[in-house]
Structure 1
Amino acid sequence: STAYVEALRDALIPRHELWFAYTMNDPAAREAAASSLRRLVNLPFEADDIHLTTGGFAAIALALKAVADPGDEVVYSLPPWFLYESLVLEAGLVPVKVTIDPATFDLDLDAIAAAITPRTRIVILCTPNNPTGRVYPAATLQRLAAVLDEASARTGRRIYIVSDEPYNRIVYDGAAFRSPLEFYPHAFLAYSYGKTLLAPGQRIGYLALPPAMPSREEMRDAIRTLQFATGFLFPNAVLQYALPRLEELRFDIDLFQRKRNLMVDALREIGYRVSRSEGTFYLFPESPIGDDEAFVRILAERGILVMPGRIFETPGYFRISLTATLETIEASLPGFAAAFAAAAA
């Protein structure tokens, strides 16, 4: 947007001789992020709880390394964001994958509880979820907190949540987003600005600590040390200076809700089985044939590019992104109908 470009252009203008020097956690940027997060999550975050990173990738990597030792286990649900496994393995940790409720796309808390062992150190959540669009309700998050408290007491070792929340401002139908940090203080919040600003190439995000986290000051120190030790995981100076203005920009919920409704209603009329996503800008329909990769190729032949469910370790589905224009989405509908007919033939 023009406002986005103007914010970056203004931040490029030096205010002093050290404007382009090493910049670690610019105070104004941290305060802007903390203020925004306080309004969203209704927890009293302080500026020092915000650790600015080069996007959500780095925030998750920092959280993994801050509390887990090599060989520890990390539990997450399928379908996941497709780079969780790479981040877990790079940290020397062991991925443990569990299924979800296929009817609701909600967490399967019994499966999570059954997967916990004495080596479990972290549970990764993504809400609103990529790729399903599910927003985990408060009741689910409360029950998960109870599961993790009980398991931590039983194993004698605290289990942490890493809450991956790059879409926490993208929630539809007037729903209120609830973060796992509201229910469980042994948690990290990983955020990326790339989704709400639709600018993923400009790498800026943060790792936030909840105000009630035990030993919070020690954890702040550990994360600061890791940001240097892992290769200076701070955003470039210009993005940090621009952040207060970037926080003022708003994602067009109404437009994306219109795009979601248009696509869901049209796909259902064609015959697809698809849930109406509660958040994110994705849909995760079932493939009309078992081989989702083959169906993705059928769509591609008609000029429609989507991602197969196998990328998300969930064969039989495919992911649609609604970041195209409304006109492009409307123009794609005959292609979706033709692909469905071809698959049924």
Structure 2
Amino acid sequence: MSEGMLMDDRLASDRIATVAGATPFQLLFDFLRISGYQSRRHEPGVLDFTFGDPHDPPSEAYVEILRESLIPQHELWFAYNLGDAKAIEAATDSLRRHLDIPFETDDVHLTTGGFTAISTALKIVGDPGDEVVYSLPPWFLYEPLVLEAGLVPVKVSIDRETLDLDLEAIAAAITPRTRIVIVNSPNNPTGRIYPPATLERLATILDEASERNGRRIFLISDEAYNRIVFDGARFRSPVEFYPWSFLAYSYGKTLLSPGERIGYLALPPTMPGREVFRDAIEAAQIAGGWLFPNVSMQYALPRLETLAFDIPLFQRKRDVMVAALREIGYRVTVPEGTFYLFPESPLTDDAAFAQALDREGVLVLPGGMFETPGFFRISLTATMETIEASLPRFAAAFRAAGVPAAR
């Protein structure tokens, strides 16, 4: 039978078509492929505040660690490796130090970044049709990850005034099909760190709903920025308050190297029956296409753990930018962590305002890409020189929007 005579001539599966058609994916594809961003960002004089890519050269120490990890020490140096023991020990030790929770090495599973840690957790507890609740604004790839796992995304808004979780909205969104709730703290893009009182109430909601449904609801704690906190604050992990939790972490943020993929999925020691998940996690990683980091990154990890993120520098960037934007007239909350700002757009149409900034030679991400219209995101991975050069341009775009300046 010729191809033209086929009754069904679809080439891609319905599942992948659904993933690719997800609103966040479409907005991201449009931005990367249609908007001209890829060429625009390289034009002389254009200031790029879009993604969390590094704008300064990597440190010599970082490069040297990676270089040394590529030198073979024995014949099996580049063989299959489910998780290098020294790397897992280093990751576990850092978890214990940073969170003051006695994680065990058997419960820390190295992944190709936090991305696949989240994907793995979704698949080992979620069955097709199960619902996954998360708050808007989200990291914009939650929906594609949920759909790819055969699950159903259920979205609720945060409290737009406090930027805190709307616990009543989360409780109302839970149904008998709810299996997973995702929490991202410190939050990308708002920079909000959810306080212990909020996390305690969330744990109660999940416990009560699990009892009511006769089926355990799990929590995935996306903690890619848990070491990037400001003003001497202590980060409190959601896994501290709710035992049935998975912790997803990525080193790409603290090392400012998102293209070098390494992270982990960790189970807290309070997780009941967590032994069941150890083999399940590895099975999902293998079946998913070998979702373990390249061995060179695993060998490098113990030494990479010794490199510190420059908190004072990024806090200074935050303070300079927040103060200047507020003086211009922007409404912006001071982020408690991450390296992002999430100001309100002076125009109701945040995409139109992002275009106005583009005309001034400043590139940002509109809030619509985070399913939260009326805001825009600024990445502080830009250099301090870029930040200072941008301020007159942010002021010009604000004036062009026709909004009265701050007094």
Taking structure 2 as the reference length, what is the TM-score of the superposition?
Answer: 0.84
1:142 and 2:195 are equivalent in the alignment: no
1:128 and 2:183 are equivalent in the alignment: no
Report the structure number with the largest CA radius of gyration.
2
Give the distance between the partners of 1:344 and 1:261, measured in 2 at CA.
26
1:37 and 2:98 are equivalent in the alignment: no
Give the distance between the partners of 1:45 and 1:303, measured in 2 at CA.
47
Match in the other structure for 2:309: 251
Give the distance between the partners of 1:41 and 1:174, measured in 2 at CA.
14
Give the distance between the partners of 1:101 and 1:64, measured in 2 at CA.
26
**Match 2:350 to one of 284, 288, 292:** 292
Residue type at the aligned position of 1:338: A
1:19 and 2:64 are equivalent in the alignment: no
SS of equivalent residue, structure 2 residue 246: strand
Give the distance between the partners of 1:317 and 1:193, measured in 2 at CA.
27
**Match 1:177 to one of 226, 230, 235:** 235
Give the distance between the partners of 2:67 and 2:145, measured in 1 at CA.
33
SS of equivalent residue, structure 1 residue 122: strand
Give how far 1:257 is off: 0.3
SS of equivalent residue, structure 2 residue 362: coil
**Match 1:205 to one of 246, 263, 278:** 263
SS of equivalent residue, structure 1 residue 195: helix
Match in the other structure for 2:154: 96
RMSD: 0.7
Give the distance between the partners of 1:301 and 1:2, measured in 2 at CA.
36
Give unmatched runs, 5+ long, in structure 2: 1-58
Residue type at the aligned position of 2:100: N
SS of equivalent residue, structure 1 residue 189: strand
Residue deviations 1:235-273 (CA, integer Å, cap 9, x gap): 001000000001111000000000000000000000000
Give the distance between the partners of 1:57 and 1:186, measured in 2 at CA.
20
Give the distance between the partners of 1:215 and 1:229, measured in 2 at CA.
23
Give the distance between the partners of 2:133 and 2:308, measured in 1 at CA.
33
Residue deviations 1:311-331 (CA, integer Å, cap 9, x gap): 000011000000011111011
SS of equivalent residue, structure 1 residue 77: strand
Give the distance between the partners of 2:217 and 2:60, measured in 1 at CA.
44
Match in the other structure for 1:59: 117
Residue type at the aligned position of 1:77: S
**Match 1:268 to one of 313, 326, 336:** 326
Give the distance between the partners of 1:310 and 1:101, measured in 2 at CA.
17
Match in the other structure for 1:153: 211
**Match 2:138 to one of 66, 71, 80:** 80
Give the distance between the partners of 2:350 and 2:113, measured in 1 at CA.
30
SS of equivalent residue, structure 2 residue 284: helix
Match in the other structure for 2:126: 68
Percent identity over paired residues: 73
Number of residue pairs matched by the alignment: 345
Give the distance between the partners of 1:211 and 1:326, measured in 2 at CA.
41
Match in the other structure for 2:224: 166
Runs of 4+ aligned structure 1 residues displaced above 2 Å come to: none
Taking structure 1 as the reference length, what is the TM-score of the superposition?
Answer: 0.99
Residue deviations 1:50-93 (CA, integer Å, cap 9, x gap): 11111111000000001010000000000000000000000000
Match in the other structure for 1:109: 167
Residue type at the aligned position of 1:159: I
Residue deviations 1:281-302 (CA, integer Å, cap 9, x gap): 0000000001111110111111
Give how far 1:46 is off: 1.2
Match in the other structure for 1:241: 299
Residue deviations 1:144-188 (CA, integer Å, cap 9, x gap): 001100000000000000000000000000000000010111000
